[in-house]
């Protein structure tokens, strides 16, 4: 099932998107977190179907527009991207021959960065001139927990969405720690909705990015260095994951700094991301 948060007439609601993605059926819930926490009771009634309104008549928002906590992100989780990043000159402290990490790089973006489908992304002139895109499969935690073992990890995932881990490469490099360069306002487009975990094989999804119609990233989640179960085991080892937490699993090669010279985003650019089984997420940079 595909579950979306949307604005209709100034009111934020949650709905079930039809299989053919033409209509959306209102769900009696306060927000997506309410849906996630009451899913076992809600899902049965939704499966029975109901009246929907045209999807084109509502404005989709990020599926979780205001996450309660930071977006948890994984860096350098595809081999070719780890190499392009190290070779780009934009990785502070890069060591030749040590591009592939032995432990996943985990960082975060503040919840305040989240914007939805078709929202504009600011280019922040005067603050950065090195903005890059990163398509990523994002996990949405359903059942929280600490010390989750890899074998049990999928039981804790409610569903999946798409995140663009927009990054100011100059800030990322200059400040050593990645947080600031990842955290400018509007730097986390998310959507178009959450596809529930039962509907996809998360370890075999095509992940793509187009910039102004040109294909830049084209990979598959089967190539993740640190797998989804291992990420959940690692992250939850000493930190309790909560329902609604979002974990972005890393981006493949083909980002702007992978080109020589780098191809950074500028005002007017349109970035479209797609992940098979989930959908598309398009944002214009202004």
Q: Using CA atoms, how far apart are residues 136 and 89, in angstroms rounded to an integer?
A: 22
Q: Does 134 interact with Mg ion (rule: CB under 5 A)?
A: yes
Token pair, residue 122, equals: 């600011």
Shortest Cβ 233–Mg ion spacing (Å): 20
Q: Using CA atoms, how far apart are residues 186 and 158, in angstroms rounded to an integer?
A: 25
Contact letters (x/-) for Mg ion, 80-119, by CB under 5 A?
A: ----------------------------------------
Q: Using CA atoms, how far apart are residues 103 and 89, in angstroms rounded to an integer?
A: 22
Q: Which is nearer to Mg ion, 195 or 217 (CB)?
A: 217
Scanning 129-137, 139-147, 214-222, 273-281 for contacts with Mg ion by CB under 5 A, the matching segment is 129-137
Among 88, 249, 251, 253, binds Mg ion (CB under 5 A): 251
Contact 253, 76 (CB under 8 A): no
Q: Which is nearer to Mg ion, 4 or 86 (CB)?
A: 86
CB-based burial of residue 166 (10 Å sphere; 0-12 exposed, 13-18 middle, 19+ buried)? buried
Shortest Cβ 224–Mg ion spacing (Å): 12
Contact 207, 135 (CB under 8 A): yes
First-residue to last-residue Cα distance in the chain: 33
- Which residue minimizes CB distance to Mg ion? 165
Q: Which is nearer to Mg ion, 13 or 81 (CB)?
A: 81
Q: Which is nearer to Mg ion, 99 or 165 (CB)?
A: 165
Among candidate residues 145, 178, 139, the one with its CA nearest the CA of residue 157: 139
Scanning 126-134, 173-181, 216-224, 237-245 for contacts with Mg ion by CB under 5 A, the matching segment is 126-134
Among 99, 132, 165, 233, binds Mg ion (CB under 5 A): 165
Q: Does 132 interact with Mg ion (rule: CB under 5 A)?
A: no
Contact 162, 192 (CB under 8 A): yes
The SS3 of residue 192 is: strand
Scanning 78-86, 117-125, 128-136, 234-242 for contacts with Mg ion by CB under 5 A, the matching segment is 128-136
Question: Under the rule (CB under 5 A), what is the footprint of Mg ion?
Answer: 134, 165, 251
């Amino acid at each position: 099932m595909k579950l979306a948060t949307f604005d209709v007439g100034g009111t934020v609601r949650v709905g079930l998107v039809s299989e053919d993605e033409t209509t959306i059926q209102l769900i009696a819930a306060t927000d997506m977190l309410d849906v996630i926490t009451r899913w076992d009771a809600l899902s049965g009634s939704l499966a029975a179907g109901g009246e929907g309104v045209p999807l084109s008549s509502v404005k989709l928002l990020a599926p979780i527009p205001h996450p309660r906590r930071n977006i948890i992100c994984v860096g350098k989780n595809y081999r070719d991207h780890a190499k392009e990043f190290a070779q780009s000159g934009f990785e502070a402290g890069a060591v030749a021959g040590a591009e592939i990490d032995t432990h996943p790089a985990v960082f975060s973006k503040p919840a305040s960065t989240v914007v939805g489908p078709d929202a504009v992304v600011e280019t922040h002139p005067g603050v950065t001139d090195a903005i890059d895109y990163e398509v990523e499969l994002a996990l949405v935690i359903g059942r929280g927990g600490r010390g989750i073992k890899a074998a049990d990890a999928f039981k804790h995932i409610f569903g999946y969405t798409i995140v663009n881990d927009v990054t100011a490469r100059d800030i990322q490099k200059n400040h050593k720690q990645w947080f600031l360069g990842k955290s400018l306002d509007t730097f986390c487009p998310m959507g178009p909705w959450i596809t529930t975990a039962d509907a996809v094989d998360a370890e075999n999804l095509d992940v793509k990015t187009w910039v102004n119609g040109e294909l830049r990233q084209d990979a598959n989640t089967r190539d993740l260095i640190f797998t989804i179960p291992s990420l959940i085991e690692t992250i939850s080892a000493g930190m309790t994951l909560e329902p609604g937490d979002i974990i972005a699993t890393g981006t493949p090669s083909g980002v702007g700094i992978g080109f020589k010279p780098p191809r950074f985003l500028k005002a007017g650019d349109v970035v479209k991301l797609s992940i098979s089984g989930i959908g598309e997420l398009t944002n214009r940079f202004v």
